[in-house]
Homo-oligomer: A and B are copies of this chain.
Amino acid sequence: MENRNDKYEEILRKREIRPTAMRILILKTMMDSAEMVSILDLENKLETAEKSTIFRTISLFMMHNLVHCIDDGSGSLKYAVCNTDCSCSVKELHAHFHCEKCDKTFCLKSTPVPVIALPDKFVLNNINYVLKGVCDKCSNKQ
């Protein structure tokens, strides 16, 4: 019988990350989440995992372009798993939405970040594009 963790193991291997139990668990938890997660979110979802372990695991994931990170202004960084084969180049980046009511942050995966022209001699490496306001669920609650 095929193990259902095979999927996550394969994802990790493709990114040249050794698939330990903890890494599989963290990856699975991130992929199961509809919104982006902070380190504290992961700590709460995974009672078994230490803050420092999560921090180092996510740092590793980011170095291998498996997850991306955005600063939504909430005070903690939020992370989400990238698309398959994503290499986090400017052209591949998408917009993010941060709800000021529920404090959740979502990837708007189908919305590429707008790229503008920079003054001469400026080199562009990355873009943080965060729309802030109220999400659909919170705006329905009056």
The interface residues of chain B lying within 8 Å CB-to-CB of A116 are 95, 111, 114, 131
CA distance A128 to B134 in the complex (A): 15
- Structural contact, A125 and B140, CB atoms closer than 8 A: no
Number of identical monomers bound together in the oligomeric complex: 2
> With an 8 A cutoff between CB atoms, is A21 at the interface?
no
Interface residues of A in 104-142 (CB under 8 A from B): 108, 111, 114, 116, 118-136, 139-140
CB<8 Å pairs between A and B, sample of 16: A71-B71, A71-B73, A100-B125, A111-B116, A116-B131, A118-B131, A118-B133, A120-B136, A121-B136, A122-B136, A126-B132, A126-B133, A127-B130, A127-B132, A128-B132, A129-B130
